[in-house]
A and B are shown apart, each in its own frame.
Chain A
Amino acid sequence: MPKNAEIKKVLVIGSGPIIIGQAAEFDYAGTQACRSLKEEGIQVVLLNSNPATIMTDKDIADQVYIEPLTVQVVEQLIQKEKPDSLLPTLGGQAGLNLAMELAESGFLEEHHVRLIGTTASTIKRAEDRLEFKEAMEKIGEPVAPSQVVENIADGIAFTNSIGYPVVLRPAYTLGGSGGGIAHNQEELEEILGNGLRLSRVGQVLVERCIAGWKEIEYEVMRDGAGNVITVCNMENIDPVGIHTGDSIVVAPSQTLGDKEYQMLRTSALNIITELGITGGCNVQYALHPTSFEYCVIEVNPRVSRSSALASKATGYPIAKVAAKIALGYTLDEIKNGVTQKTYASFEPMLDYCVVKMPRLPFDKFISAKRVLGTQMKATGEVMSICTNFEGALMKAIRSLEQHVDSLMSYDFTGVTDDELETMLSRLDDRRIWVIAEALRRGVTYDRIHEITQIDIWFIHKLEVLVRMEERLRRAGEKVLSGEPAEKALSQEVLEKAKGMEFPDSVIARLTHIPQERVKELRSRYGIQAAFKMVDTCAAEFTAQTPYYYSVYGGENEAQRNQDRKKVLVLGSGPIRIGQGIEFDFCSVHCTWAFRREGFETIIVNNNPETVSTDFDIADKLYFEPLTPEDVENIVDVEKPDGAVVQFGGQTAIKLTEALMKMGVPILGTAAEDVDAAEDRERFDEILEQCQIPRPAGVTVYTAREAKEAAAKLGYPVLVRPSYVLGGQGMQIAINDQDIDQFIGIINQIAQEHPILVDKYIMGKELEVDAICDGEDILIPGIMEHIERTGVHSGDSISVYPAYNITEGNVETMVEYTRKLAKALHVKGMINIQFIVDGEDVYIIEVNPRASRTVPYISKVTGIPIVPLATQIICGRKIRELGYTPGLQPRGAYYAIKMPVFSFEKIRGADINLGPEMKSTGECLGIAKTFNEALHKAFLGAGIKLPKYKNMIITVRDSDKEELIPIAGRFAALGYKIFATKGTAKALNEAGVKAIPVRKLEQESPNLLDLVLGHEIDLIIDIPHQGAEHSRDGFIIRRNAIETGVNVLTSLDTAKALATSMENKAKGLTLVDIATV
């Protein structure tokens, strides 16, 4: 069927800020789809509130709106741009929900906008629990016995009829928000009550618990003519009970016979046919482990995290094909871009094994419960490819960048066998390490399976790895007893260990053979990594797309091209707090810019959710862990003329030294200058030379030294490890006890680098991203943070242009930037953070690389920062590129970047803002005035206030004076203020009416009752600094977050929110970023 000629202008809605459950995969899908639409000559209007995305670039869409994702905005946008069609299935659940609201209200019909891809009724049948159940019953597809309830009493009655445990799934939420498993009535009441509140429609599905069954997924496609295919099936190693986003997933399924595989495949195709989906769809199954019984768990009638994974696992671009289908094409008309010989109607066949592992944020949220369940907690994920499962798992483990490199990375020495059994039954992020330990201690497969319900096949594979550790350890004993390395470690063992992807460093550790010597032995035995191609067809056809993975033992398929200069672009790995999608934005733009400069571009990355790992972004894609050894294998084959590390966040920067040792020139700022910015003493020297002040500070290694330093500097001090990103481990200490505690935490992981202790100065925080060509600098703009120092820059509301500083401050900052960029011989990007205290300007941090703010500043200033920096790295000068050096004139718009958090997903995490970053994503508010921009930013972050006009305030004594005017503003907005005794007294005395409430430990009704009473919509709670966080405050904050109440922990944020609410505009002015 040819393309529908009536479709000319399409509105695509993105998924908004990155939050747990909705990450970079939608930027990948959206970008791919937009490019696919534009290829067909369609005009694309894009709406997404997330400025860090590639899809919001003007080269991806024709009109780009970085505006809040609200019904009002979409309506206004449709009236303004008059698209004829809306493609709703690319923006995740957020985009889909918006489109549904507009379809249901009749707005789309009224404005002659059709939903393309999938119709509203199809979406409803797939998403509405009741309609879905009916559809499944109609075609005889089994679903677990379940009932949709709208109140707690019905939930209890139904559960009593089917028995505990039951799974609770709120309708229309993402990442399983608010869901859970209830084992008794108490749990049922709690989870159900919460779920009912979080569901957009106030419905929760209560369902028979199928925990322990195999969890299997199918990615299927259907076109308008009814042709259906399967792209990929996937098996979760973790049985049903752990959200698939938090599960270790393998593709294709490993423990299903053809009978089971085809049974579920046929079912998935029947379902997509019955629902009438046109495009991609994900179907999740629970398969009974000892029979053919199965249940359909759920269907996602849109692209999803799983579809991104399936696309990367197979080379089949689901979003691109889905976009073409939406335009009317059929599967047999769409060419497979990988082979150029086959069509989209050909089912991919894998000749390798893919493992996906979640990146969980427990390193950031130390107090959080590590338990995994039906609520997703991962912020990102890694994928790896190998011809065997063991190798794929080992590669995935080291791709996580979480100080894990093997199954030995957690220490269980103090754990008794009984305790270990208990740990086995606990589902947390360390479970495979616990299983490995159990195997080491001789616990049987059957026992482990009985406890964990993980299939014996996977347990056996872990055993294979454990046995290899043992063989290497035995070789190590021989080495220790004086045997020469080459005798102790046989070629056969080394070959096998490498075949399972044991890194040289781990082999060295186990065998006591120095790592360099292990490498030597490998080259003597001819054990080298070879690269194989992901080609969608298991080598049946020649493929055109150079998408590679490494494997030991086999023929190398990656050929070095001789014609052009080659650049290695190092990606940023999994999305985590502190290193998000921004760095993928930078990597992709850098790649495109190098290509325009005539380079052959080679990307290395391991994140399946991103645009950078799409096979047509770079000339070559290596889907590999970002460790020195893995990168060196690629370097050996490609022999690049240089590598660029300044766009891949800290992941890439950390590889600088290793690349130099490999003899790969670092393009842009030299490695030693990168080091100078990170090395405290060298950096201090430079600052001194440039006569730039910084808060006084000392480098220490031990807690004792730290306390001495703090005594000299005077409390409060900032304590942090060097070489980290996102302020990881950074804390404000107010006394010696704090220092002992913080350094204890930092030293849980062996530190190669020293710890920094700095004087904490309270002031305004500002930030600059600049480009330097060795002589001149270009500063697109200066950003000012709303929150004062002490809150991590990634968690602060950031305003461009700076709005509250003097001309003198600006001049000083520009001057310092120029001096520092020159002193550090920066070629390319530099990011500097300043403190401004009156006329004094201090430097707090310098990063010789692209930062998290680059995408947003590029977009609001219209200056293509990454391409410019790349051109400069290639030897061009700022002046010859048509720019006047120095600070660029400020733009016509205010742009305010607002952090977005996912606290409700991480039980037990403290939401208190501090020097350690906690936000998962960001959105942008852009407008002609500061106030409107601020309002849009809050709206984009999902803060829609007021709701009940009841708030609670509790602050420290020292903040009371500052609080009074802010509280007064909320009172003027109509808020009824509840406050703890001291705060209430201060407010009432100052003439702001406040109702005192009892503290937590006091009898009811107290603060907590008020929070749980669901009539509060805002809490301002300023906790004490230091480790001794008030336990009460913590409980209040957690309860508030879990019941959906907004909590602010900074007075600056509170002030900004008041401004935003005071300026709640009648209508918003929408800004087409493409014209900025």
Chain B
Amino acid sequence: MKAYLILEDGTVFTGSSIGSDREVISEIVFNTSMTGYLEVLTDPSYAGQAVVMTYPLIGNYGICPEDMESSAPWPEGYIVRELSQIPSNFRSQDTIQHFLKQYDIPGICGIDTRALTKRLREKGTMNGMITTKPYEDLSEPIARMKSYRVTGVVERTSTRERYVLPGPGKQVALLDLGAKRNIARALNERGCQVTVYPAATSAEEILSAAPDGIMLSNGPGDPAENTKIIQEIHKLYQSQIPIFAICLGHQLMALATGASTYKLKYGHRGGNHPVKDLETGRVYISSQNHGYAVDMSSLDPKVAVPAFVNVNDGTNEGLSYTGKKIFTVQFHPEACPGPRDSGYLFDRFMKMMEVNP
């Protein structure tokens, strides 16, 4: 079946429908990872967005369920150049075609994803529509696209109930803002007992459990929208408990302490961005997925100083909080997909909890 991707600037790409054939409007973003399509699909940070994979051959190794980063795929839509007709991997249990259908994710394949990526790069992230309906007049769908906002996504992707992932060591409270599984897994692997809290949990509830450390997860959407959560995080900041935050968690901590965030032109999504640890001068290749960044000029050095910077565009990639056992990163040390080079940050967090009496 024919499918169309319509961008809010009026560009139309014609391809074939994959997954669900329902019509969907969302923000369109691109990811440059060459492997890890399932991890991308199941990363809650993509809620509200349709993802373009710049690598043209997707689905080659099928679906390996243990690679899922959450219980379900989150993107509103999926855009690829070519889907493999057969999966080939010893762990594969399904095809990506079936997986998309099963979860009712609409998508389009057979389009020039590079041309689309270039458009997004030049004009910035846009909204768009995936549909199987051939619109004669685009003005009506474009009007709908223009009014679309990614909103309420943290609540949607966070856990409904608190739950515990047992471990013999440190007690870590993980505030699930749309968390990828590997964050908890990385902590579990280091012996931690991880208690996962819904995003709307009050600071008091978390603090009353007296955890050894608090972990703020990644998550979707515009960070500034989460005013209620930001207030709670401010309270966590005021406690003496070590905090490590990733991606959205990093942005929310910055917002909670007086800094501001802004939307990047087209974000960073992929597994190849170099980030520099300003303390050691070392450069690490990182996994990234963010559309917003912390505005460095809004930082009060008395509160926080940059700890990591993006080598390519100089944007902020991490903060170290002055006088606090708090450090936060914009990128994804939990990897999945992408390089594991910055996994040592979990060890740094462990050390931080170690010296905490």
Contacts and interface: CB of A to CB of B under 8 A. Distances in A.
Contact of B270 (A230, A265, A540): A540
A347 B32 CA distance: 11
Contact of A343 (B34, B312, B340): B312
A289 B89 CA distance: 8
Nearest to B87: A457
Contacts of A457: 60-61, 84, 86, 88
B331 to A, nearest CB: 13
A220 to B, nearest CB: 11
A992 B302 CA distance: 97
B35 A539 contact: no
Contacts of B110: 553
Contacts of B285: 229-230, 345, 347
B282 A225 contact: yes
B312 A342 contact: yes
A421 interface: no
Given A457-B60, A539-B118, A258 B54 contact: no
A332 B314 CA distance: 12
A410 interface: no
Contacts of A291: 90
B39 A258 contact: yes
Interface in B266-288: 270-274, 276, 281-285
Nearest to B118: A539
Contacts of A351: 32, 54-56, 113-114, 117
A525 interface: no
B190 interface: no
Contacts of B81: 387-388
A457 B248 CA distance: 38
A290 B90 contact: yes
A261 interface: yes
A331 B312 CA distance: 12
A554 B114 contact: yes
Interface string B182-209: 0000000000000000000000000000
Contact of A353 (B32, B54, B57, B339): B57
Contacts of B56: 351-353, 387-388
Given A257-B35, A351-B55, A346 B117 contact: no
Contacts, number: 161
A455 interface: yes
A467 B283 CA distance: 48
A332 B86 contact: no
Interface in A500-549: 532, 537-542
A227 interface: yes
A341 B35 CA distance: 24
A460 B338 contact: no
Contact of A265 (B32, B39, B61, B339): B339
Contact of B338 (A226, A255, A262): A262
**Contact-size category for B:** 35 or more
A350 interface: yes
Contacts of B164: none
Interface residues of A, number: 55
A807 B305 CA distance: 84
Nearest to A261: B35
Given A342-B312, A346-B311, A554-B112, A456 B57 contact: no
A266 interface: yes
A252 B121 contact: no
Contacts of A290: 90
Nearest to A539: B117
B91 interface: yes
A110 interface: no
B114 A460 contact: no
B67 interface: yes
A349 B274 contact: no
- The interface centre, meaning the residue of A538, A554, A555 with most chain B CB atoms within 10 A of its CB, is A538
A389 interface: yes
B261 to A, nearest CB: 21
A259 B57 contact: no
- The interface centre, meaning the residue of A261, A351, A554 with most chain B CB atoms within 10 A of its CB, is A351
Given A345-B311, A388-B56, A389-B57, A259 B283 contact: no
A227 B272 contact: no
Contact of A256 (B35, B55, B313): B35
B272 A349 contact: yes
Contacts of B90: 289-291
Given A225-B281, A258-B67, A262-B338, A349 B270 contact: yes
B92 to A, nearest CB: 8
B95 to A, nearest CB: 12
Interface in B319-337: 335-337
B332 to A, nearest CB: 12
B340 A540 contact: no
A350 B55 contact: yes
Given A351-B56, A532-B114, A257 B272 contact: no
A971 interface: no
A127 B49 CA distance: 49
Interface in A215-266: 225-230, 252-259, 261-262, 265-266
B115 interface: yes
A554 B110 CA distance: 10
A331 B281 CA distance: 11
Contacts of A553: 110, 112
Given A262-B340, A539-B54, A555 B272 contact: no
B258 to A, nearest CB: 30
A235 to B, nearest CB: 10
A558 to B, nearest CB: 13
A269 interface: yes
B85 interface: yes
A341 B312 contact: yes
B82 interface: yes
B341 interface: yes
Interface string A315-336: 0000000000000001110000
A726 interface: no
B283 A345 contact: yes
B24 interface: no
Interface in A123-143: none
Contacts of B276: 332
A229 B338 CA distance: 13
A269 B341 contact: yes
B211 interface: no
B3 to A, nearest CB: 15
B57 A538 contact: no
Contacts of B60: 254-255, 457
Nearest to A336: B312
B36 interface: yes
B54 A257 contact: no
Given A256-B61, A258-B36, A341-B312, A460 B67 contact: no
Interface in B63-87: 64, 67, 81-82, 84-86
A537 B270 CA distance: 10
Contacts of B86: 456-457, 460
A388 B335 CA distance: 27
A921 interface: no
B327 to A, nearest CB: 21
A255 B61 contact: yes
Given A227-B282, A258-B337, A269-B341, A464 B121 contact: no
Given A229-B285, A346-B272, 4 more contacts: A225-B281, A262-B35, A347-B274, A555-B115
24 contacts: A229-B285, A256-B35, A257-B35, A258-B67, A261-B36, A262-B338, A330-B283, A331-B283, A346-B272, A349-B33, A349-B34, A349-B270, A350-B34, A351-B114, A351-B117, A353-B56, A456-B88, A457-B86, A457-B88, A540-B117, A540-B121, A542-B121, A554-B114, A555-B115
Which 5 pairs show the lowest CB-CB distances between chains A and B? A258-B36, A554-B112, A347-B272, A457-B88, A290-B90
Interface of A: 225-230, 252-259, 261-262, 265-266, 269, 289-291, 330-332, 341-343, 345-353, 387-389, 455-457, 460, 464, 532, 537-542, 553-555
